[in-house]
Amino acid sequence: MAMPSDERPYELNYDPHSGILRLRLTGFWTEDTMRNFLGVFMPMISRLSLSHPDFMVLSDCRDYPVQSPAIGIAWARVLGADPAVTVPYAVVVGSILNKLQAERALVAPNVRIFTGMDDATAWLEAKRRDQAFE
């Protein structure tokens, strides 16, 4: 289940072997970009929730700079205090400043922000082990 970029500033690719939905977000987004992304992302989340309820998300945001307040608010609605997405969600950002800003905006028990892909992957693997014992 892949979504080619076609010049879009996002890619989505679900790997059934690992159970991870991989996202790659780039560039500065407009509200239209966010709406278009959510039009693809949310239906994919819904489908995966039904077919693979133990899936996880790994979002590569290393080329996704700090966004406008409107985009931040949209992300908070998706991943914030009353999230639409409740699966383990690891976000990899490109700098400590981005990490601090993302942690302030995305406060949810299922979301963690990292500056390295290895740390994010290790956290998801630990979450997978925890799910196996629930």
3-class secondary structure, 12: strand
Over range 43-57, report the average pLDDT.
Answer: 94
Residue 1: per-residue pLDDT: 54
Here the tokens at position 67 are: 């966004």
Contacts 24+ apart (CB under 8 A), 93-100: 93/61, 93/62, 93/64, 94/61, 94/62, 94/63, 94/64, 94/65, 97/66, 98/61, 98/65, 98/66
Percentage above 70 pLDDT, the chain: 90
**Domains of the chain, earliest start first:** 2-116 (3.40.525.10)
pLDDT at position 14 over 80? yes
Over range 70-98, report the average pLDDT.
Answer: 87
Give the Cα separation of 72 and 40 in Å (integer): 18
For the question of whether the overall pTM of this predicted structure is more than 0.85, the answer is: yes
pLDDT band of residue 82 (cuts 50, 70, 90) is low
